[in-house]
Every structure is written in C-alpha cells, then in structure tokens.
Amino acid sequence: MQDELRADGFETFQVIAVAIDGNVDAIRSFAADVSFPVLIDAGHLLTELYAVSNVPTVLLIDEDDRIAMPNWSAYGTDTFSEFTGVSADRQHDRIRRWVREGDAGISEDEARAAVGDLTADEEAARLHFRLAVALQERQDADGAERHFVRAASLAPHDWTIRRAMMPLRGEDPFGQGFFDLYQEWLDDGSPYHGLSGY
Amino acid sequence: MLERVLGWTLKPEGLCRDEVCVLVPDRLRLETENGIDLEVFGELVDRPVMVDREAGLTAVGAPREQRRAALRDLQAPDFALPDLDGGVTALSDHRSKKRLLVAFSSW
C-alpha cells in the first residue's frame, strides 16, 4: 500500500511497523523485502504508550503528530474476517481515503472515546512482563516464571501479555492454549483497548 | 544512574529534567543510604515502577501522562526502538508525514 500511494504522488505517506516481539529471526522472515522500517519492541514499550492490548493493531498519525485514528484492530488479509465480520478491503479503503483526502472517517470525539486508559493492573502487568523477559535473558527461569504468572493474573484479557508470553514459556501460540484463551476472552465480552469491527 | 538512564537530576530545588523540576517533600525517603529509592522516584514523576529485590532488578514504565495525552488529546507520543537494519528508528524520524503505525507480532 505504501508503494501504491507513493506512486500516486502521496510521497510523504510512511508505514512504520513495530513488532511487539523479541523474536528477531521470526520477525525478519515476516518482514523480508518490505520497503518500510520494522522496529523490534521486545519490552512492549508501544503497548504501554498507546494502551495497545492486541495485535495486529494499526494507528493513523498525521503530519502534526495527531492521532487521526487510534488503536484500530487490523485485518492484513481476510483470513479472520469470518470471525470479525470486517473485511480487510474496507479497512484498506479507509486508509487510502485518509491519505488522499485527509478524512479518517472518525470524529475527534469518537477517537478520544475509542481507547480506555490502562488500569493500574494492566500497567503493572507490563512491568512484570518486562522483568520476566529480562530475567529470561539472565537464564533465571524461575524468576521469569514468577513474573509471567503475575503479569497473566493482572491482565488476563490482554493478548500482548497472555499470548505474547506463550512462546517464551514454551507454549504454542497457535495451539490449544490460544483457543482456550480466545474462548475465555469471548466469554468476558471481548475486551479491547481500541476500535474493533470498525 | 538517575540522570544517565532516566534523565532526571536531583538538585537542591527538587528532581529536575530539562526545564521542569518536581518538588521533593521528603528527601530522606528518596535518598536512602542505598541510593535513590526508585519506587519513591516513580511516585514523584508519575511513572510506574516494579522492583524485584530478590533479582536486584527494577522496571520503570513510561510516564503515565504521555499515554493519557495520547488518549485525551490525541497527541502521539514519540518513541525510538531498534530496527531490523541494525539502527534505531523513531516516530519523529518521519515527522511531517502521514504515518500508518502497525503493531504486529509472530505470536
């Protein structure tokens, strides 16, 4: 999309990808041959600064550093649209319209109301997650596990905590644990810090 | 440490960073015999702090006000992170552009 819009004369359109993930090799294979910067956020800074609770999430940020579209559940392809009822095409059309015409399709009031602030527990969960990652790097598996458990109990519906820790704890993030987590999240009303089904 | 990592300096008038100083009502709580108490520091500058004393490790979160400004005023907080090319990329490296920020993962 960046190449297409730039070819159309919108040369100042810039995609910036941020991997909420410390697995650099996996990210590198995802991001082979892309023409935009790919950042590695192993410590989950972005999820703290922008109250992101799941990925993929996109944000639109304008020339004046204003958030034109806050956390917006993203659909790179239509793989998940059966689940969500939202097509990737519709989202891509909205992004194109914003780049071309400056209309993100959402009022400032809606944008302001879209993302609830992190709770104190969700904030603390991010710090526990960060400590767990740091302790893993020190080969302190018990210490890391203590903080992973604490993070999960403080932010049970946050995918950037619960699912992100699965591979770090030797669990398959696409296995049964994921489906159990998905059901748990649905049962609790699909909480998300941002716009989904939009 | 306080200055090098977190950007704050303890001065007679308080904890200072750039032009801003935060008054420190109880210096003895902040400056202990073991150095600066980071939990007290976090309270003073409104940053979350988590201390693991057993591991001797502390995590200091981002200033809460940055996130609240993003949510309330729709002002995008800047950040800088390592990139796949071995450098560091900041949101502000691309200022004055329309930016599509994509958070993704391999999990």
User: What pLDDT digit, counting tens, does each position of A107-143 carry?
Assistant: 999 999 999 999 999 999 999 999 999 999 999 999 9
By residue range, what is the domain housing residue A172? 120-187
The yes-or-no verdict on residue B14 having pLDDT over 50 is yes
The reported pLDDT for the residue numbered A14 is 94
What are the structural domain ranges in chain B?
Answer: 2-60
Say yes or no for a CB contact (<8 Å) between B59 and A130. Answer: yes
Tell me whether strands A57-61 and B98-104 are parallel, antiparallel or unpaired.
antiparallel
Chain A positions in Cβ-Cβ contact with residue B81 (cut-off 8 Å): 18, 39-41, 45-46
Say yes or no for a CB contact (<8 Å) between B74 and A111. Answer: yes
Number of domains in chain A: 2
If you write DSSP's letter for every residue of A11-33 in order, what string do you get?
A: TTEEEEEEES-S-HHHHHHHTTT
* A53 and A98 housed in the same domain: yes
Say yes or no for a CB contact (<8 Å) between B76 and A58. Answer: no
Q: Which residues contact residue B19 at a Cβ distance below 8 angstroms, ignoring those fewer than 6 apart? A: none
Last residue of a domain, one of A92, A114, A136: A114
Q: A175 to chain B, minimum CA–CA distance in Å?
A: 11
pLDDT below 50 — which residues of chain A?
80-84
Tokens for A33? 């041959």
**Is residue A196, in this structure, part of any structural domain at all?**
no
Q: B42 to chain A, minimum CA–CA distance in Å?
A: 13
Q: B20 to chain A, minimum CA–CA distance in Å?
A: 21
Count of CB pairs separated by less than 8 Å, A with B: 197
Say yes or no for a CB contact (<8 Å) between A166 and B107. Answer: yes
* A137 and A39 housed in the same domain: no
* A102 and A148 housed in the same domain: no
* A105 and A80 housed in the same domain: yes
The complex scores an ipTM of 0.91
Residue of B nearest to A20 (CA): B105
Give CA–CA dist A184/B40, Å, rounded: 37
* A7 and A104 housed in the same domain: yes
* A56 and A15 housed in the same domain: yes
**Is residue A197, in this structure, part of any structural domain at all?**
no
**Is residue A198, in this structure, part of any structural domain at all?**
no
The reported pLDDT for the residue numbered A76 is 59
Say yes or no for a CB contact (<8 Å) between A163 and B49. Answer: no
Nearest to A56 by CA among A194, A191, A152, A180: A194
Q: What would the pLDDT profile of B16-55 be if each residue is shown by its tens digit?
A: 998 889 999 899 999 998 889 999 999 999 999 999 999 9
Q: Residue A142, exposed/middle/buried by CB under 10 A (0-12, 13-18, 19+)?
A: exposed
The reported pLDDT for the residue numbered A80 is 47
Last residue of a domain, one of A75, A93, A114: A114
The reported pLDDT for the residue numbered A88 is 75
**Is residue A103, in this structure, part of any structural domain at all?**
yes
The reported pLDDT for the residue numbered A81 is 47
The yes-or-no verdict on residue B71 having pLDDT over 90 is yes
* A25 and A87 housed in the same domain: yes
The reported pLDDT for the residue numbered A180 is 94
Say yes or no for a CB contact (<8 Å) between A62 and B98. Answer: yes
The CATH number assigned to the domain holding A64 equals: 3.40.30
DSSP SS3 for A71: strand
Q: Which residues contact residue B44 at a Cβ distance below 8 angstroms, ignoring those fewer than 6 apart? A: B15, B22, B24, B30
Closest in A19, A60, A167 to B104, CB measured: A19
Chain B positions in Cβ-Cβ contact with residue A1 (cut-off 8 Å): 100
Residues 68-107 of B with CB under 8 A from A: 68, 70-72, 74-79, 81-85, 89, 91, 94-107
* A16 and A84 housed in the same domain: yes
Q: Quickly tell me which residue has 């619960």 as its tokens.
A: A162
pTM of the model: 0.90
Q: What would the pLDDT profile of B77-99 be if each residue is shown by its tens digit?
A: 999 999 999 999 999 999 999 99
Say yes or no for a CB contact (<8 Å) between A14 and B99. Answer: yes
The reported pLDDT for the residue numbered B75 is 95
Say yes or no for a CB contact (<8 Å) between B70 and A50. Answer: yes
Last residue of a domain, one of A65, A82, A114: A114
The reported pLDDT for the residue numbered A6 is 76
Closest in B49, B55, B83 to A140, CB measured: B55
Q: Residue A177 in contact with residue A165, Cβ under 8 Å?
A: no
* A37 and A100 housed in the same domain: yes
* A35 and A73 housed in the same domain: yes
Closest in B57, B79, B82 to A134, CB measured: B57
* A101 and A55 housed in the same domain: yes
Return the HEC string of B4-54. Answer: HHHCCEEECCEEEECCEEECCCCHHHHEECCEECHHHHHHHHCCCEEEECC
Q: Cβ atoms within 10 A of the Cβ of B33, count? A: 5
Residue A194 DSSP one-character state:
S
Q: Residue A161 in contact with residue A129, Cβ under 8 Å?
A: yes
**Is residue A88, in this structure, part of any structural domain at all?**
yes
Rg of chain B, C-alpha, whole Å: 17
Average pLDDT over every residue of B63-79: 94
Say yes or no for a CB contact (<8 Å) between A16 and B107. Answer: no
Give CA–CA dist B47/B39, Å, rounded: 9
